[in-house]
Structure 1
Amino acid sequence: MGIVNVTPDSFSDGGDFYQTEQAVAHARQLIADGADILDIGGQSTRPGYQEIPPEEEAKRVIPVIEGIRRFATVPISVDTYFPEVARQALAAGADIINDIKGLDQPGMIDVIADYQCPVIIMHSRQRDKSLSVAEDIQRFYEEKMTLAVARGIKKEHICFDPGIGFHKAPEENVEILARPETFRYRDLPLLYGFSRKRTIARLTGNDAPKERDAGTLAASLFVKHKGVDIVRVHNVKATREAFAVWQALD
């Protein structure tokens, strides 16, 4: 999954692809580099971010979706927790909703049920410190699975993301990276998003986000070996080439 941040303030590449033309061109390059899915986001969720309203988020992402759809059929995921943005994005040609608030926002599950589209459900709640991180996340998965099934959402449309970096302690983020098998829900697909994040900085000592691709690549190979289905990354080309070599030698 290749990342297209249509934001001025994302922690890694904020402002690089803020204009629609730049974002669409970046999406085209990610496809050429081998992205299987594009993840379009109009809201930075870096630590301490200032939330923008759904109207502004839609103004950023909808033209990008429309622009990509003029030349590509690659699956498009939209990174949003606003149901009104999700609905507009799906109508514009998006295929998947990547909800970092894990269907906690009122109305989001209605959109998913109405469109019967795939959804990525992330754990980003405050941690229940009476439970281990694995127990807490598995309890969240069970809650969301029960809710989704009750609303007629197909099991095969659900993917879970344990939410590395969201309300977890540094050592918990490393545990999630190290033990993907513990953070999978039954046989459902599992997505990991750790590209250039502070967890990589913690492991490498590199404080410059754009210089964390080597650490991100090592983590991507490790979690793929451990069975993670989707890795969400900034540098698709390097990741694709590393996967190709690893698979050839495996």
Structure 2
Amino acid sequence: MGILNVTPDSFSDGGDYTDVEIAVKHAKEMIEDGVDIIDIGGQSTRPGYVEISFDEEMKRVVPVIQAIRAFSDIPISIDTYFPEVAKAALEAGADIVNDVKGMDVSGMVEVVAKYQAPIIIMHSRPRQEGVSIFDDLAQFYQEKIALCQAHNISKENICFDPGIGFHKSMEDNELILSFPEKCRYEDYPLLYGVSRKRTIAHLINEDKPKERDFGSVAASLYSLEKGVEMVRVHNVKGMSDTLAVWNKLKMN
């Protein structure tokens, strides 16, 4: 999954792709580099972010989705927790909802159910006191599975994201990254998004987000080797090339 932030304030690439033409150019580059899904977000969720309205977020993402759909049928996910934005994005041609608030916002589950869209449900709540991060994740997954079942959302449309960096301590982030098998619930697929995050900065002592790509690729590759189905990255070419070489060498 390649990241396309059409935001002025994302922590590593804010302002880089706010123009539709530039965003589309980057989407084309990611497609050439082997991306499987383009994840489009119109609101930064970096630490300390200031929330924008769903109207403003829609104005940022819908034109980009429409422009990409004019030349490609590449799967597109909409990175949002606003049900209004999810609805507008799906109607504009997006395929998947990537919800960083894990359908905690009222109305999101109804949108997902209505459009029968695949949903990526992120855990972004503070951990319960006295409960391990892995038990907390399991309880969250169970709650969200029950919610989906109550709204007739197919199991095949559900993917979980343990939410590295979201309301979590550095220790919990590193546990999630180190033990993906403990973050899985039954056979539901997992998405890991660690690209350029503070967890990588901590591991390699690098303050500049755009200089964290090598560490991000290494962490993402480790996750995939541990069975994670999907990784969300900024540097698609770096991830794609790494996987190509890794898989070729493993076959020899």
Shorter-chain TM-score above 0.5: yes
Aligned to 1:171: 171
Aligned counterparts of 1:130 and 1:64: Cα–Cα separation in 2: 44
Aligned to 1:243: 243
Aligned to 1:159: 159
Matches within 5 A, 1:220-235: 220-235=220-235
CA distances 1:172-205 after superposition (whole Å, capped 9, x unpaired): 1000000000001111110000100000000000
Aligned to 1:187: 187
Aligned counterparts of 1:70 and 1:138: Cα–Cα separation in 2: 40
Aligned to 1:83: 83
Matches within 5 A, 1:23-62: 23-62=23-62
Runs of 4+ in 1 over 6 A off after TM superposition: none
CA distances 1:145-195 after superposition (whole Å, capped 9, x unpaired): 011011100000000000000011001100000000000111111000010
SS in structure 2 at match of 1:121: strand
Aligned counterparts of 1:48 and 1:19: Cα–Cα separation in 2: 24
SS in structure 2 at match of 1:39: strand
Percent of aligned positions that are identical: 62
Q: Give the superposition deviation at 1:129.
A: 2.0
Q: Give the superposition deviation at 1:20.
A: 1.1
SS in structure 1 at match of 2:114: helix
Matched to 1:68, the amino acid is I
RMSD: 0.5
Matches within 5 A, 1:106-185: 106-185=106-185
- Alignment length, in residue pairs? 250
SS in structure 1 at match of 2:120: strand
Matched to 1:158, the amino acid is I
Matched to 2:174, the amino acid is V
CA distances 1:84-117 after superposition (whole Å, capped 9, x unpaired): 0000000000000000000100000000000001
Matched to 1:213, the amino acid is D
Matched to 1:124, the amino acid is S
State the TM-score, normalized to the length of structure 2. Answer: 0.98
Unaligned 5+ segments in structure 2 are none
Q: Give the superposition deviation at 1:221.
A: 1.1
Aligned to 1:204: 204
Q: Give the superposition deviation at 1:127.
A: 1.4
Aligned counterparts of 1:7 and 1:98: Cα–Cα separation in 2: 16
SS in structure 2 at match of 1:206: coil
Unaligned 5+ segments in structure 1 are none
